[in-house]
Amino acid sequence: MTTSRIPGFYNLPLAERLDKLAEAAGLTPEELAAFNSGGLTSEQADPMIENAVGTFGLPLGIALNFLVNGREVLVPMAIEEPSVVAGASFMAKLARTGGGFTASTSAPEMIGQMQVLDVPDLMAASMKLHEHKAELLAEADTIDPVLKKFGGGARDLEVRLIEESPIGPFLVVHLIYDVRDAMGANAVNTACERLAPRVEAITGGRVHLKILSNLADKRLAKATCKIPVKELEMVGQDNILSYGGERVRDGIIEAWAFAATDPYRAATHNKGIMNGVDAVVIATGNDWRAIEAGAHAYAARDGRYTSLSTWGRDADGNLVGELEMPMAVGIVGGATKVHPAAKAALKLMAVKSASDLAEIIVSVGLAQNLAALRALATEGIQRGHMSLHARQVAIAAGATGEQIEKVAAQMVADKTVRVDRAEEILKSLK
């Protein structure tokens, strides 16, 4: 893709937006069709879950302007909330002026847990597990030949002692498994179930739970960005400067400090990050509950829930941001390979590995966080929200086509965004 900047995309009719995507990413008519009506037929949904009766649609939008590690990316986002796609696109545009997003990932290592109960001697069992580590890893390594072929497999074994619990002390064995381009739950769960009898024989205990941990803190993704302070200036009506760049930058840092120190604010701050993260996770058919669980557990890893991102200023006065969080996403297996829209979404971003995808997602999370903080630190969140909300209210009142913008604009000008007012305006238009 030559550029993720498509000026005027917002104003194009839907069909022309699809043409632009086809042009930019070489999507075929079938792939574009997958973006229509959720992209999944009832027949395709049927074998995916039990008792299927149909599918459930969400709006799919494209975030523009993203430059991630020097690569142009058009980002598909499945989300019902207005302002999110626009916010991400606008912040990606600002970030471009500072070189875009720089992102990286650790190795795609997931953690599988085995809970070992009824161990006669916890210390001795722990030592024995360490003695048998190489043998246990070798056995776990044979479980998924496909992962092995692509360079994945068992990496390490850790033993933890839970000294106090409602059922007394017990051991926990962590199997660290490199899952390459998979989300990894299946491989890790299978490996834990397979190792359990050996762990029982070695420890003399009973392996109770055998399951992946969603606190995937060995599979992290990190994004950073730098926004030149000049780009943060906000100009209002008649070209009058309403907020200087320094003021916006410092306001964003003050807003972040609130989230860094107060869990009540941190929950909302991180929710804003997840607006961006989840939207891409869902659009690519990945497990957003796993990502949510990992994100919030990671945010509380030091015993106090805090912000997932950090914002500050560099020596030149630029605003600098960083987001690091677990990112257990895959591009093989599960819905990523069965859901036609998820397949098209992956093709649109031209991701070659799960790490590529994780790097894009964490960049979108950082952009989304910036959009929220910038709005909150200046004119407040409602102004931007209102105009989009007004469109939805206009539609609810029966507006169609060009009427939608007209009714919405009038309601925003009146500062009254309600269905009854929309109906009145609509009547006056007719």
User: According to the binding rule CB under 6 A, does residue 372 interact with ligand MEV?
Assistant: yes
Q: Whole-number minimum distance, CB 83 to ligand MEV, in Å? A: 8
Of the two residues 188 and 273, which places its CB atom closer to ligand MEV in the complex?
Answer: 273
User: According to the binding rule CB under 6 A, does residue 272 interact with ligand MEV?
Assistant: yes
Q: Is 158 helix (H, G, I), strand (E, B) or coil?
A: strand
Of the two residues 37 and 268, which places its CB atom closer to ligand MEV in the complex?
Answer: 268
Of the two residues 117 and 376, which places its CB atom closer to ligand MEV in the complex?
Answer: 376
The footprint of ligand MEV on residues 166-205 (CB under 6 A) is none
DSSP H stretches of helix in 284-353: 288-299, 335-338, 340-349
Q: Is 305 helix (H, G, I), strand (E, B) or coil?
A: coil
Q: Which of 19, 23, 80, 81 is catalytic?
A: 81
Note if 46 is an active site residue.
no
The footprint of ligand MEV on residues 81-100 (CB under 6 A) is 81
Note if 271 is an active site residue.
yes
Q: Which of 132, 271, 347, 406 is catalytic?
A: 271
Stretch that binds ligand MEV, among 167-175, 266-274, 350-358, 419-427 (CB under 6 A): 266-274
Task: Return d(Cα 340, Cα 30) in angstroms, integer.
Answer: 9
Task: Return d(Cα 346, Cα 429) in angstroms, integer.
Answer: 43
Identify whether the C-beta of residue 171 lies closer than 8 Å to the C-beta of residue 125.
yes
Task: Return d(Cα 210, Cα 115) in angstroms, integer.
Answer: 7
Of the two residues 382 and 428, which places its CB atom closer to ligand MEV in the complex?
Answer: 382
**Biggest CA-to-CA distance, the chain:** 83
Note if 72 is an active site residue.
no
The footprint of ligand MEV on residues 219-238 (CB under 6 A) is none
Q: Whole-number minimum distance, CB 381 to ligand MEV, in Å? A: 5
User: According to the binding rule CB under 6 A, does residue 296 interact with ligand MEV?
Assistant: no
Stretch that binds ligand MEV, among 9-17, 46-54, 270-278, 396-404 (CB under 6 A): 270-278
E-only strand ranges, 219-346: 220-227, 234-235, 241-243, 309-313, 319-326
Of the two residues 269 and 389, which places its CB atom closer to ligand MEV in the complex?
Answer: 269
Note if 254 is an active site residue.
no
Of the two residues 222 and 269, which places its CB atom closer to ligand MEV in the complex?
Answer: 269
Identify whether the C-beta of residue 322 lies closer than 8 Å to the C-beta of residue 223.
yes
Q: 171: Cβ–Cβ under 8 A, 6 or more apart, which residues?
A: 115, 116, 119, 122, 125, 126, 129, 159, 160, 161, 162, 203, 205
Identify whether the C-beta of residue 242 lies closer than 8 Å to the C-beta of residue 382.
no
Identify whether the C-beta of residue 87 lies closer than 8 Å to the C-beta of residue 65.
no
Stretch that binds ligand MEV, among 4-12, 241-249, 271-279, 392-400 (CB under 6 A): 271-279
Q: Which of 31, 178, 287, 324 is catalytic?
A: 287
Q: Which one of 269, 296, 374, 389 is in contact with ligand MEV (CB under 6 A)? A: 269
Q: Which one of 115, 214, 275, 410 is in contact with ligand MEV (CB under 6 A)? A: 275
Identify whether the C-beta of residue 138 lies closer than 8 Å to the C-beta of residue 156.
no
Which DSSP symbol is given to 238?
G
Q: Look-up: residue for tokens 């975030």?
A: 63
Which DSSP symbol is given to 287?
-
Q: 50: Cβ–Cβ under 8 A, 6 or more apart, which residues?
A: none
The footprint of ligand MEV on residues 381-410 (CB under 6 A) is 381
Q: Count residues binding ligand MEV (CB under 6 A).
A: 9
User: According to the binding rule CB under 6 A, does residue 378 interact with ligand MEV?
Assistant: no
Of the two residues 187 and 277, which places its CB atom closer to ligand MEV in the complex?
Answer: 277
Q: Which of 379, 385, 406, 423 is catalytic?
A: 385
List the catalytic residues. Answer: 81, 271, 287, 385
Q: Which residues bind ligand MEV (CB under 6 A)?
A: 81, 268-269, 271-272, 275, 372, 376, 381
